[in-house]
Every structure is written in C-alpha cells, then in structure tokens.
Amino acid sequence: MKNIYKKIAFVLLAILGFNSCSDFDEINENPNAFTSEEVSAKFFMTELQIQLYAPNRYPYWRAQLIHADRYAGHFTFGFNGSWWTDALGYDYNGGYTDAAYDWMSGYLGKLSGFINFVKEGGDLQNEKFYAIGLIMKGLYYQMYVDTFGMAPYTEAFDPDNITPKYDELSTIYQGVIADLDEAMSIIGDATVSGDGVELLTNNDLFFGGDMQKWKKLANTLKLRMGLRAQGADGATFADNVIAEAMAAPLLTTADENALMEKDPDISQWANAAYGDVWWNFGTGSNWNVGKTLIDYLRNNNDPRLTYYAKPIDGGDVVLTQDADGDSRDMFSKHSTFILQQLDDAGVSYTSTSGTKTVEGVSIDTVGISIDAGDYYVGQPTRLNGFIYSQVKEQLFSRPADIVINPKNQDKDIFPEVVMTAAEGNFLQAEAIVKGLASGDAQSLYQEGIRQAMAMWDVPEGDIASFLASEDMAQLNGTEEQNLEKIAVQRWIASYTDGFEAWAIVRDTGYPSELYNGVSDFDIYAAGTTLDGAYPQRMRYGNGAYNTNGDNTSAALQIQGPDVQGTKLWWAKN
C-alpha cells in the first residue's frame, strides 16, 4: 500500500495528466486526444475513495474530529492545555460547521463527474465502474443525510440545475436502496471489472477490484439503511428491504472488511490521518478518549482496551482553585468530580487538601499522587469552561499510538473504516432479535464481536476468553436489553468512524450515557439551543443558504429548524 498513491499519481500525471474535475471536462471536450488503451475510469477511483473517507487535513479535522468523533463520545477535548473546552461543536461554531458542510456537500461534484463518465453512453463507459459509482453514491448519501438531514438528491445529478430541491430522507433512503439493488444486479456473478486497462486492482483501496466484495458491501449498506429506517414514520418499505438483504450475501469475514489503508508517506493535503493533527501543532490540538468508551471496555474486561487507548500518565497532580471568576466557587465540586473519575476507574491514589495565599487571595488545592500501575480513565464528554483548569491531561487516557501515529516514520496507522464484517454480523443479529428475520442471533452477535476485535489484532485466545466468560458477550436478556448490547457493540466497533458511531447513538438511544445528554451545567456544556440534549444533526453550512437559499428554507419547513437538536426522520423518539 505504501507507494500506491505515488504510483497512481505518476500514472495520472505521466499518462493522463488529470488532477482535478476540470480534467473530466478536458476528456469530454476532446475525447480523441487519448486512446482506449490509455484511458480508464479506474484512475479516478482512488481519489473518489480518499475524498469521502480521508480528505485533506482541513475538513478531516473539522468534520471528523471536531464534530463526529466527539459527538460519538469516542474523543474529547477540554483538558487543561487543549485549545478548546469540550463544549466546542456542542456550542455552534460557524467556521468549523462550514468546513464540514462544504467538504461533504462538495463531494457530490466529484461523485457526479465519475458516474456521468462511466454510465451507459459516457465517455468512459464501464458498467462495473458504474455499479461501483452507485455504491459510492450510497455510502456518500448515507453519511451526508445522516449528518445534516434533507439534501438535494432527485435533482442533484442534473448538471443544468444549479439550485436542486431538497428531498426528504425517506425519499433519499429509498432511492439509495434502489441504486444499491441496481449495482448488485449489474455485478451479478462478475469477479472483476474488465480486461486490460479496465481491470481494477490497486486503484481500488477498499477491495483491490474484487467485485463480489463490492456486491456484499452494497447489500450490507442496504441492510444498515433498512434497519435504520425501520420504525420511522412512513417507512413501510423497510421490512421488505431487510428481508431481501438478509437473504443475500453480506460482509461477514475478516477478508471482506472494507478498510482503506493509510499511505504513511502521502501529504496531509492529499489524504489526512489523525496524526496530521496530533503531531503538527503541539499539545493544544490533542485529545483524550471518552469516558463512556473506556468504561464499557474496562468494566467488561474487553481486550480492545489496550488497543484503543493508553494508560494514564499519572504521577503527581495539583488541582488549584481559580483566584476569581465563576469557577472559583465551584472548586470543591470540580475537584470532587475529578477524584470521582479516578475512583470509578479503580485508580489507586492519595489526595491531600491544602490552602495557600496568592497576592492576598486564599487558594484551595487538592494534591493527587497516583500509585504505580496501568490505569485507564476516560475523560467525561462535554466538559465546559468552568471545569477546564482542573481537567489535567495526565489523569486521562489518550488514543493508542496506532490511531495517532505520525506519517513518514515507518509506523503503522489504523486504516479508515468504511464497512466491516463486524457490522455485517451485528446487523443480522439485530434483525433477528427484532423479529424481522430468522436465525441464530447469539452466534451472529458473537461473530460480530470476534470480527471487531480481530480487526484490531486482538489475539484469538483473548477473544475466545471474552466470548466465553463475559456477560456482555451474551444475548441473555429481554429483547430491549439484547438490542442495547448489539447497539453498544456496534458503537464500540465503530471507533475512529465517528459519523457512524454518532448515528448509532441517535438511532438506538445507546449508549444511554451519551444519548440522555447532560444537565449539570456547572460541569457540562449545555450546547447552543440544545439545553443539554444530545446533538441530533449538524446545521447546514452558510454555503447552503448562499447558493440554494430558497430550497434550503423550504426544506426547513418540512424538517424543522436548522439547529443541532432537530431530530432526523429515523432518529429515536
């Protein structure tokens, strides 16, 4: 993988000379400038995948990290030394929201260009690439509308319509599922995309050109969307979609994971990774792992704990009362809260209360000395500015090295998660528990856990021990309790895939520790218009109003106000 991007770039420059959407126009205007032996849509496949899952650092930081990963409860800002409190994102920020919206809405142009060239009658016509384009369209729209809500769909691919109407999510979901069905029909029994220059291999960062894996990806996405729609107002189509998907092959084994490997040498402006943020700006841009995630892993003896996060630094820490401001009177409450996090995580420590005088002002202190040992402590999500000075970085767990490793140092970097075998198994278990299909939910649930752990190289012995001994590995409760376990395991398995993890919480209500929101505003951020509730969507960017204002406003009349608390069509009521 290491040099794939370089080789592709060389091919594009040396053979095709394409580097932007304008290159599509160049081919369209002068298709005879290149021979059929030289031109193939496969040379655009890599960029299509990268731009959806790991674009350049600017949107990657602002969309994935500042919003999705933190709404998901996987990552947190707000330790003393961070540039931001963990209120960021919950408190609306127009600039960061615009960056996320512009990237995601702007991807449509790249996708449209590709599909128009490979469809029947297109200058680079290839039905297998067209099928892949439809599947990429499905992946895109599921992420896009599950983030913002209503969006242009039925009119979005008309190049002559620069102000397309917004469609309701029910329409988009049904349209995407129809596209997925068409893609699967086109692929049929085919295993490759074509011969010669039309043979897709290394340019496909998901499956290396294996068309049957693309077909399974399409069906797994279909099942996910069917289950998400099921129970929503007017989603009468969902049960049939689920039944169809359950009757066809899904992603279920390790060799079928759709994981987009990272090139450790590529520029952050071509393909970003978490390490591009972590290592380029000092401590201020760093983050910790969320309490809810660490608690589920640690308290259930989940062997992924050491693969997801690091032990705290520990040592000696002093919590110091602020000399003035609103937080001064909250010091006792805040210091007690910090100590409670250590207690909850089983940390062995001693604490000493004291008082000192600074410029005539009495200042209370709490000294904390952490005993030797490996302790995993998640930082509570959504901590506000009042408690900021007491949230010491060395008391909370950072992400594991493989998540944040820098490039150009010959270190492994965990790949981007597109769709996994774990998800394929968990979705089947969910459908069965809900009574929408028949089968062995317990076996599928455990296989989902096995695949999720294997993806992080957890040893088989550790996996087997967890499956045999932990209650979390057993669907042994009521229907709702079993659905909660499946939802939590899907959420855990979506670590580093914040968009899907966030969607799982909004759809299922689990983990409830996140979904139930917050109420103590001495400690937690209320959020702009949220009043402590869990964020249900991102607001549209200013670009939506500037370029398609009338249709954006019309959509809001159907969907509800353009605020983070407005629930989407499929969200848990």
- Residues 220 and 227: beta-carbon distance below 8 Å: no
Tens of pLDDT, residues 232-277: 999 999 999 999 999 999 999 999 999 999 888 888 988 899 999 9
Task: Measure the CA–CA gap between 283 and 80, rounded to whole angstroms.
Answer: 10
Residue 25 has pLDDT above 90, yes or no: no
Q: For residues 516 and 75, what is the distance between their CA atoms, to the nearest angstrom?
A: 18
Give the whole-angstrom CA distance, residue 421 versus residue 455.
Answer: 9
pLDDT value at 553 more than 70: yes
Tens of pLDDT, residues 310-350? 999 999 999 999 999 999 999 999 999 999 999 999 999 99
Paired tokens of 40: 């193939």
Give every CB contact of residue 519 below 8 A, 6+ residues apart in sequence. 532
Q: Could you give the 3-state DSSP secondary structure of residue 546?
A: helix
pLDDT-derived band at 39, boundaries 50, 70, 90: confident
Question: Looking at the predicted structure, is the pLDDT value of residue 31 above 50?
Answer: no
Name the 3-class secondary structure at 352. Answer: strand
Q: What percent of the chain has pLDDT over 70?
A: 93
Amino acid 264: pLDDT? 83
Note the pLDDT of residue 345. Answer: 98
pLDDT value of residue 26: 45
- Can you tell me the distance from the alpha carbon of 300 to that of 485, in angstroms, rounded to the nearest whole number? 12
Reported in sequence order, the residue ranges of 210-360 that DSSP labels E, i.e. its strands, are 258-260, 288-289, 316-320, 349-358
> What band does 35 get if pLDDT is binned at 50, 70 and 90?
low
| Average pLDDT, integer, range 383-409 | 97
pLDDT at 7 over 50: no
CA distance readout (Å), 258 to 142, 205, 487: 16, 9, 20
DSSP per residue over 102-171, as a string?
HHHHHHHHHHHHHHHHHSTTSTT--HHHHHHHHHHHHHHHHHHHHHH--EE-TTTT-TT-SSPPEE-HHH
Residue 37 has a pLDDT of: 64
Of 16-20, 98-102, 526-530, the least confident: 16-20
Q: In what order do the strands lie in the sheet with 349-358?
A: 316-320, 361-370, 349-358
For residue 36, the model assigns a pLDDT of: 54
DSSP-assigned letter for residue 24: H
Which tokens hold the place of 522? Answer: 């001495």
Give yes or no for residue 87 having a pLDDT over 70: yes
pLDDT reported for residue 179? 98
Q: What's the rounded Cα separation, in Å, for the pair 116 and 125?
A: 9
The per-residue pLDDT for 263 is 83
Alpha-carbon gap, residue 265 to 267, rounded angstroms:
7
Q: What is the largest CA-CA distance in the chain?
A: 83
Report d(CA 217, CA 201) in Å as an integer: 17
pLDDT at 142: 98
Mean pLDDT for the chain?
A: 93
Reported confidence tier of residue 1, pLDDT bands at 50, 70, 90: very low
> What confidence score (pLDDT) does residue 15 get?
31
What gap in Å lies between CA 143 and CA 502, rounded to an integer? 11
Q: CB neighbours of 433 closer than 8 A, spacing ≥ 6?
A: 441, 475, 479, 482, 483, 486
Distance CA 382, CA 90 (A): 8
pLDDT at position 266? 84
Q: Is the pLDDT of residue 13 over 60?
A: no
**Structure confidence at residue 274 (pLDDT):** 97
Q: How far is CA 137 from the centre of its chain?
A: 17
Question: What DSSP string runs through 437-490?
Answer: S-S-HHHHHHHHHHHHHHTTT--HHHHHHHHHH-GGG---S-HHHHHHHHHHHH
Number of helices and strands in the chain (H, E) = 22, 9
How far apart are alpha carbons 31 and 155 in whole angstroms?
Answer: 27
| pLDDT tens, residue by residue, 127-138 | 999 999 999 999
Indicate the helix (H) or strand (E) that contains 428.
Answer: helix 421-433
- Residues forming a β-bridge with 504: none
**Tens of pLDDT, residues 166-222:** 999 999 999 999 999 999 999 999 999 999 999 999 999 999 999 999 999 999 999
Looking only at the bridges linking them, the beta strands covering 75-76 and 151-152 are unpaired
Residue 291 has pLDDT above 80, yes or no: yes
Identify whether the C-beta of residue 377 lies closer than 8 Å to the C-beta of residue 342: yes
Q: CA 239 from chain center: how many Å? A: 26
The full DSSP string for 72-102 is: TTSEE--SBTBSS-TTBTTB--HHHHHHHHH
Q: Where are the alpha helices (DSSP H) in 345-418?
A: 401-404
> How many Å apart are CA 331 and CA 366, to the nearest integer?
10
Q: Are 232 and 570 in contact (CB under 8 A)?
A: yes
